[in-house]
Amino acid sequence: MTLLPDPVWPVIVLAAISFIDGVLCLKPVRFIARCFEDVGWPRRLWWLMPPIKFAAAGGLLLGILVPGLAALTTACLVAYFLFAIGMHIRARDFGRNLFVNATGMLVLCLATGVFCFLV
């Protein structure tokens, strides 16, 4: 296991995706708002999503220089997407949002963790 990502590019890609996701959640675009509604995420908590996603992007990028931070942030993203998948399953939302978005992001986060920190 390494404390700094090697290679770095998957961490940068994951950070960019997290940042873009955060921007799209500022005033949730239609498909994100629909996803929140479909899983029953309370509207009063929607404001939490951009800071979480921006923090993930920042943790990933800062983790290129700070030992362990990118690995921890990647692990937190894995937990986040496992939670998201659980919410989709609980809501019986078995469509695109579960299989493409949440599961796809889980796979990307897991691959980043394994490829950059374990191999």
Residue-wise pLDDT tens digits, 13-51: 999 999 999 999 999 999 999 999 999 999 999 999 999
Rounded distance, CA 73 to CA 68, Å? 9
Q: Which residues contact 85 (CB under 8 A, 6 or more apart)?
A: 98, 102, 103, 106
Segment 66-77 mean pLDDT: 98
Residue 74: predicted pLDDT: 98
Segment 39-68 mean pLDDT: 97
Under DSSP, the state recorded for 67 is: T
Domain boundaries, the chain: 9-118
Residue 77: predicted pLDDT: 98
pTM, 2 dp: 0.94
